[in-house]
Structure 1
Amino acid sequence: MTDFLLNLLLGVILGSLGGLFGIGGGLVAIPALGVLFGLDQQLAQGTALLMVVPNVLLALWRYNQRNRINRQHALALGLSSLLSATLGANWAVTVDASQMRWGFIGFLLLLALYNLLQLYRKPKPAATSLSYSWPWLVALGAVAGLLGGVFGVGGAVVATPILTLAFGASQVVAQGLSLALALPSTSVTLATYAVHSHVDWLLGIPLALGGLLSISWGVKLAHALPERTLRALFGVFLLLCALLLGWQT
């Protein structure tokens, strides 16, 4: 019972961060599971996905309540990410766990650098519509879904900065659309990892319950923070995750 409650508390923390950054908690859960529980990379990713899928679903609903998500944009991103995530996940379960871990660390560092560099760009006026139409969203969904399938993060962390920089979306709108992309891709990736026995169900279930209890707090905070602050926090968060996982490795 003590282990269950501690894991539930960890899920509360991870769920809050997932709601804040629009990522379902997976990016921080994977390093946490590797560092705190000594899980190999594929097992950490699969177990984190057990928490991520319901968190993404709830966060998507909360974001849509506060800032209506364009259904056509969400559909273009979601369908393309579903197909490519299936390919990525099936490849990821065959890769050496150590190689996967270093690949994941490199992935986090690149994302952190990208997001932090955007702080020095001149802010653009808020756009009322995306700069590019749905065919480009299909391409973005395919790339983000593929990376999400490989690294078990749903692709939201890839899509969010691209939607803000290239497509002209605000940070909150980008995070909402990224969650729409992440829901199908995380679901199919979880199924793939589960089939290959890369999910620790006893650990993942209390994490998922804790995340469901807290993710709404993170979403509420995301809408209260200035966009520049939210972007800076996201970049620092990614960097810390990479450093912690690299230290443990």
Structure 2
Amino acid sequence: MLNFTIDVVLGLVLGTLGGLFGIGGGLIAIPVLGVLFGLDQQLAQGTALVMVVPNVVLAIWRYHQRNRIEWRHALALAIPSLCLAVVGSSVAVALDAERMRLIFVAFLLALAAHTLYRALHRPSGGSGAMRHSWRWLSLLGGFAGALGGLFGVGGAVLATPILTGVFGTSQVVAQGLSLSLALPSTSVTLATYGLHGQVDWALGVPLAIGGLLSISLGVRLAHALPERLLKAMFSGFLALSACLLALEV
């Protein structure tokens, strides 16, 4: 019972961060599960997804309530994301866990540096209107879905800076759309990992319970913070996740 309670509390923390940054909590959960519970990369990714999938569903609804998600844009991201996630997750379960970890660390550090640069040296994001045709979102959705399938998470964190920097959306609009992109890819990735025995359900379920109880708080914080500060915090969050992941042995 004590272990279950501790796992729920951990889920509360991860859910708050997931709602704040629009990622469902999986990005930080993967290195935490590796460092604290000694799970290898694939098992950590699969277990984190047990929490991520229901968190993403609730977070999408909360973001939509506060800043309406354009479902045409969401579907343009989600459908190709789903298709390419099948390919990415099928490849991931056969790859070397150590190599995947190192690639993921490099990816997070590069993305953190890019996001911090944009937060410090460029104007804040736009009003939420698309700078380019929504049809281009399909390319972003496909690439992000493949990345999410490969690493368990990652598609949403890639999509957020591209949506703000290339398409001109605000940070909170980008985070809501990124969650819409993440839902189908994370769902199919969880199913793939589960079929290959790469999920610790006893650990993942209490994490999911905690996440569902706290993710709404994270969404409220995201809409309350200034745009530039939220971007800077997002960058720091990526760097922290990379550092935690690098500590795995």
When the two structures are superposed, what TM-score results if normalisation uses the length of structure 2?
A: 0.98
What secondary structure does 2:94 align onto?
coil
- Could you tell me how far 1:108 is from its partner in structure 2? 1.2
Secondary structure class of the residue paired with 2:69: coil
Letter in structure 2 aligned against 1:81: S
Establish whether residue 117 from structure 1 lines up as the match of residue 117 from structure 2.
Answer: yes
What does residue range 229-240 of structure 1 map to in structure 2 within 5 Å? Answer: 229-240=229-240
1:199-226 CA distances to partner (integer Å, 9 max, x unpaired)? 0000000000000000000000000000
Partners of 1:190 and 1:154 lie apart in 2 by 14
Cα distance in 2, alignment partners of residues 199 and 187 from structure 1: 13
Partner residue, 2:129:
129
Q: Is residue 2:92 matched to residue 1:92?
A: yes
Cα distance 1:96–1:176, how it changes in 2: closer, same or farther (>3 A)?
same
Cα distance, 1:169–1:211 mapped onto 2, change above 3 Å:
same
User: Is the 2:124–2:227 contact (alpha carbons within 8 Å) kept by the matching residues of 1?
Assistant: no
Indicate how the Cα distance of structure 1 residues 220 and 99 shifts in structure 2: closer, same or farther if over 3 A, else same. Answer: same
Q: Distance in 1 between matches of 2:113 and 2:216?
A: 28
Residue 226 of structure 1 corresponds to which residue in structure 2?
Answer: 226
Q: CA deviation at 1:154?
A: 5.5
Confirm or deny that 1:169 pairs with 2:169. Answer: yes
**Structure 2 spans left out of the alignment, 5+ residues:** none
Question: Sequence identity of aligned pairs in percent?
Answer: 64
Task: Give the number of equivalent residue pairs.
Answer: 249
Q: Does the CA-based 8 Å contact 1:154-1:181 persist in structure 2?
A: no
Residue number in structure 1 paired with 2:39: 39
Asked if structure 1 preserves the Cα contact closer than 8 Å seen for 2:125 and 2:169, the reply is no
Q: Quote the Cα distance in structure 2 between the aligned partners of 1:217 and 1:125.
A: 23
Matched AA of 2:144? A
Contact 1:145 1:185 in 2 (8 A): yes
Paired with 2:204 and 2:157, the residues of 1 have a C-alpha distance of 21
Deviations 1:104-126, CA, capped at 9 Å, x for gaps: 11121111111111123331572
| Compared CA separation, residues 10 and 125, structure 1 to 2 (3 A) | closer
CA RMSD across the alignment: 1.1
SS of the equivalent of 2:169 reads: coil
Deviation at 1:170, TM superposition (A): 0.2
One-letter amino acid matched to 2:141: G
Q: Which amino acid aligns with 2:236?
A: V
- Amino acid aligned to 2:211: G
1:4-45 per-position Cα deviation (integer Å, ceiling 9, x unaligned) = 000000000000000000000000000100000000000000
- Is the 2:115–2:234 contact (alpha carbons within 8 Å) kept by the matching residues of 1? yes
Q: Residue type matched to 1:158 in 2?
A: L
Residue number in structure 1 paired with 2:17: 17
Partner secondary structure for residue 161 of structure 2: helix
Between the aligned partners of 2:123 and 2:154, the Cα distance in structure 1 is 28
Conserved? CA contact 1:154–1:183, under 8 Å: no
Query: 1:102 maps to what in 2?
Result: 102
Moved over 4 A (4+): none
Q: Which residue of 1 aligns with 2:7?
A: 7
Q: Name the CA distance, whole Å, in 1 between partners of 2:154 and 2:118.
A: 22
TM-score normalised per structure 1: 0.98
